[in-house]
Amino acid sequence: MLVRCVYVVTHPEATHHVEGVVGGWHDSQLTPAGIRAAARIAGTLRDRIPADAEVEVISSDLRRTLRTAEEAAKSFGVETIEDRRLRERSYGQAEGRAQEWLDRRFVPPPATGDRMGHDIRVSSGSITTLREDDYFHSRQVVGLGETRHLDS
């Protein structure tokens, strides 16, 4: 039985994090710590994915995500595929402004009812693993927002 896995990686520390400004489509770069974390992410993926697996590395076109993806692509000997549709949420007029500006205006999701229109946060540099088999087409979340690889 063939199993297809999708690894969703969030970019690690970027300049907008340390500068305290809103990211979204604001095109920041990885910090030196973020570059080191991207290398650890690539190593973790290399350890998890069999050597004979067909691998595609697809990234949004933002510099911080491309740099993260390029580390992974290099470890598999493939080119990164850019897809603008993979950009994270746009924060509109908040992008590039101080994070506190957005925090003062943020409306938390309701305890019940429609929660889908609200922000869902994951840790920088996290890996989420999704798996589907080719027989039953069973789909499962194997790992959600894992960050153990960043501890080293």
137 in active site = no
What is the pTM (predicted TM-score) of this model? Answer: 0.83
CB 125 within 8 A of CB 12: yes
How far apart (Å, rounded) are the C-alpha atoms in residues 122 and 127?
10
Active-site residue flag, 11: yes
DSSP string, 10-54: ----BHHHHHTB--TTS---B-HHHHHHHHHHHHHHHHHS-TTS-
Could you list the pLDDT tens digit for every one of the 152 residues in the chain? Answer: 778 899 999 999 999 999 999 999 999 999 999 999 999 999 999 999 999 999 999 999 999 999 999 999 999 999 999 999 999 888 889 999 999 998 898 877 777 777 666 566 778 999 999 899 888 888 888 888 899 999 87
Domain regions of the chain by residue span: 3-150
Catalytic option among 11, 16, 17, 26? 11
Catalytic option among 82, 88, 132, 146: 88
Architecture, CATH, for domain 3-150: 3-Layer(aba) Sandwich (3.40)
Residue with tokens 């943020």: 106
Closest to 2 measured CA to CA, from 52, 77, 71: 52
